[in-house]
Amino acid sequence: MRTIRFAVLTLVLGAALASAVAAQPKADSKPGGVVVDVVELRARVDAVDPAKRLVTVTGPAGNTVVLKAGPEVRNLDQIKAGDQLVVKHYESVALFVRKSGEAPAAGEAAAVQVAPRGAKPGVVMVDTVEVTATVEAIDYQKRTATLKGPEGKTRTIKVDPSMKRFSEVKKGDQVVMRMTEAVAISVQKP
């Protein structure tokens, strides 16, 4: 899955990101927000080596990448040079303040769905990570917050302008970040 993510990110280098705010907080709710990025990319299949499970593709900016198809990729023999590889990458980040005093926590869930045998090759992968962190420092002018996670590590993040009521977040507040990444890959005839 890491190989596919790296390849997707490499191909995305020429593609534009579309950002939209997916949710707005209510007037009486805690500060927070959700930001969603979606990218759709089409690449041409240049070559397939079924024995080594390698697929060579060229993205819209002309960059060529060799993808290693893992054992979960079914029906590799159906992919031919000239086919179009369609990649849809979805990423959402939700950040919300929660009650103080609760211990920081972390969790992760993942799912993979592959094409049934005999169908066109394709896969959908979803990975969701949720981390609770404590605000260690905050810079309202630069819109940054330094967060300390459950393992004691700190990280400074840039807070998106779409996060409403950012000025109400204070040092010591607990925040919950839920990051979901989904990648859908399908093969289509040109």
Q: Is the pTM of this model over 0.75?
A: no
* pLDDT higher at 118 or 81: 81
CA distance 168 to 71: 49
Q: What amino acid is encoded at 13 in this protein?
A: L
Whether 131 contacts 65, CB under 8 Å: no
pLDDT higher than threshold 90 for residue 11: no
Q: Token pair of 41, please?
A: 């990319």
pLDDT higher than threshold 70 for residue 19: no
Q: What is the pLDDT of residue 140?
A: 92
Q: What is the pLDDT of residue 103?
A: 61
Q: What is the DSSP string of 130-157?
A: EEEEEEEEEETTTTEEEEE-TTS-EEEE
Please provide the average confidence, as pLDDT, over all residues in the chain.
76
List C-alpha distances in Å: 119 to 3, 46, 74, 78, 133: 23, 21, 9, 9, 43
Rama region for 82: left / alpha / beta (φ>0; ψ in -120 to 50; rest): left
pLDDT higher than threshold 90 for residue 45: yes
| Domain-wise residue ranges, the chain | 2-188
- The HSE-up count of residue 49 (CA atoms within 13 Å, CB side) is 9
Highest-scoring range by mean pLDDT, 14-18, 23-27, 148-152, 162-166:
148-152
Mean pLDDT of 85-108: 74
List C-alpha distances in Å: 134 to 33, 72, 137, 157, 172: 17, 38, 9, 13, 6
For 113-133, what is each residue's pLDDT tens digit? 777 777 777 778 888 888 888
Q: Which of 23-27, 112-116, 180-184 has the lowest mean pLDDT?
A: 23-27
* pLDDT higher at 104 or 26: 104
